[in-house]
Amino acid sequence: MTEQLHKPGFETRAIHAGSEPDPTTGAVTPPIFATSTYKQDGVGGLRGGYEYSRSGNPTRAALEECIAALEDGDRGFAFASGLAAEDTLLRSICRPGDHVVIPNDAYGGTYRLFAKVALPWGLEHSAAPVADVDAVRAAIRPGQTKLVWLETPTNPLLNVGDIEAIAAVAHEAGALLVVDNTFASPYLQQPLTLGADVVVHSTTKYCGGHSDVVGGALVVRDHELAEKIGFHQNSIGGVAGPFDSWLVLRGLKTLAVRMERHSDNAEAVVDFLTGHGAVSQVIYPGLEEHPGHAVASKQMKRYGGIVSFRVAGGEQQALDVCAKAEVFTLGESLGGVESLIEHPGRMTHASVAGTDLEVPADLIRLSVGIETAVDLVEDLSRALG
């Protein structure tokens, strides 16, 4: 593209960053480079720096450039899953004996990574509520804490952490702030612009957006940090393959329009659930009574597509609602075009049962898709009886 006077807008970056038409054919979408290796023009004569696809692949590079541009970062790294991205990040920055502060309602798989994989390896952690900056500060062990790990909004309780305030607390203690931006997506929230050092994504979710790929990403601004992550990405090898990279890149192109519709539909669902006799609590950062509403309004463009709610009839009713819903498909994951319903206590968050991170048994999580809003509301109405 010719030089522009202003920085291209989000949608323009989503569609064009990393996706220059192919120089040989003019193909407007980046090809899927299904190749493990590359012909060298004489020993060491690499074309474009590519030598082996764990180290670099043009389709993956296109995705990495695009996601970095959307997060307002300098370097992006694409992985085989969100957890592969998280594991690579931990090993890039932490050593046995270090300490990490994590949310007390972190995604179950993230908690399992810290509790069952990183802890036996020697990386300690403490859990603190993301909405309480003082509690996060108190959980830091000066000198030992290398990372403060934030999810906002959290999964599945949708607690909101103040990225700017927590970045200041982490930096005071010489620690880095990592923000898992999976729930918000870069369209609704850009943590690096608020002081975070690393953004994590499960690109399986809104970035991919069509429930057809599992992937992860890291985005940073700092050059030294990027070098460390790049070294570990190649050394550990949990990279995104070319097909998966292509699917996520295609998803990113429509992220903005999808997030607007996810947010519209979530608001319609929240309106319906609020005041319904069978519902004891609706949890959505867009609600004025949500304790994180003011912070969410400050740092998010809109409030996203995830709605959690509790039912008055306890766990059995929660399970019944999940079973009766039809347009909402019963399934794990989130962030796709189709609406999903799940019971976190028995499904996504079963791995935290019996710990401080256990979620309420009467909780239901909705990933509100982009179908016709009235169909979603009618489906919930039927399922709630």
Ligand X SMILES: Cc1ncc(COP(=O)(O)O)c(C=O)c1O
Question: CB atoms < 10 A from the CB of 6, how many?
Answer: 5
State the minimum distance, in angstroms, from the CB of residue 223 to ligand X.
26
Q: List the catalytic residue out of 50, 107, 111, 187.
A: 107
In the residue annotation, 54 being an active-site residue is answered as: yes
Q: Which of 81, 185, 189, 367 binds ligand X (CB under 6 A)?
A: 81
Does position 83 bind ligand X by CB under 6 A?
yes
Does position 31 bind ligand X by CB under 6 A?
no
- Smaller CB separation from ligand X, 208 or 373: 208
CA 341 – CA 319 distance, rounded (Å): 10
Residues 6+ apart with CB under 8 A from 46: 38, 40
State the minimum distance, in angstroms, from the CB of residue 221 to ligand X.
21
Q: Which of 53, 110, 145, 265 binds ligand X (CB under 6 A)?
A: 110
Q: Are strands 198-202 and 176-180 parallel, antiparallel or unpaired?
A: parallel
Q: List the catalytic residue out of 13, 75, 205, 365.
A: 205
Per DSSP, helices labelled H in 254-341 are 255-273, 293-299, 314-324
CA 217 – CA 78 distance, rounded (Å): 4
- Smaller CB separation from ligand X, 149 or 272: 149
State the minimum distance, in angstroms, from the CB of residue 86 to ligand X.
7
* Binding residue count for ligand X, defined by CB under 6 A: 15
**Helix 373-384 × helix 314-324 angle, to 10°:** 130
Residues 6+ apart with CB under 8 A from 289: none
State the minimum distance, in angstroms, from the CB of residue 246 to ligand X.
17
In the residue annotation, 205 being an active-site residue is answered as: yes
Interacting span for ligand X (CB under 6 A) from 46-54, 104-112, 265-273, 306-314: 104-112
State the minimum distance, in angstroms, from the CB of residue 94 to ligand X.
18
Reading the block at residue 105, the tokens are 């309602």
- What string marks each residue from 144 to 173 as x (binds ligand X by CB under 6 A) or -? -------x---x------------------
Per DSSP, helices labelled H in 153-280 are 163-172, 185-188, 223-236, 242-253, 255-273
Buried-exposed string 85-111: b where 16+ CB fall within 10 A, e elsewhere: bbbbbbbbbbeeebbbbbbbbbbbbbb
State the minimum distance, in angstroms, from the CB of residue 216 to ligand X.
5
- Smaller CB separation from ligand X, 183 or 187: 183
Interacting span for ligand X (CB under 6 A) from 106-114, 118-126, 287-295, 311-319: 106-114
- What string marks each residue from 186 to 225 as x (binds ligand X by CB under 6 A) or -? ----------------x-x---------x-x---------
- Smaller CB separation from ligand X, 137 or 304: 304
DSSP 14-78: HHHTT-PPPTTT--SS------SB---SSTT--BTTBSBTTT--HHHHHHHHHHHHHTT-SEEEE
Residue nearest to ligand X (CB): 82
Give the phi and the psi of residue 166 in degrees, each rounded to 5. Answer: -75, -30
Interacting span for ligand X (CB under 6 A) from 62-70, 96-104, 176-184, 291-299: 176-184
- Smaller CB separation from ligand X, 18 or 153: 153
375: enclosing H helix or E strand = helix 373-384
CA 330 – CA 342 distance, rounded (Å): 6
CA 255 – CA 66 distance, rounded (Å): 12
- Smaller CB separation from ligand X, 317 or 351: 351
Residue 177, beta-bridge partner list? 148
Q: Coil, helix or strand for 152?
A: coil
State the minimum distance, in angstroms, from the CB of residue 183 to ligand X.
6
**Long-range pairs for 21-29: beta carbons < 8 A, 24 or more residues apart:** 29/250
Q: Which of 33, 50, 77, 107 binds ligand X (CB under 6 A)?
A: 107
Does position 182 bind ligand X by CB under 6 A?
yes
Residues 6+ apart with CB under 8 A from 168: 195
Interacting span for ligand X (CB under 6 A) from 24-32, 105-113, 225-233, 281-289: 105-113
Residues of this chain that bind ligand X (CB under 6 A): 81-83, 107, 109-110, 151, 155, 180, 182-183, 202, 204, 214, 216
User: Which residues does the annotation mark as catalytic?
Assistant: 54, 107, 180, 205
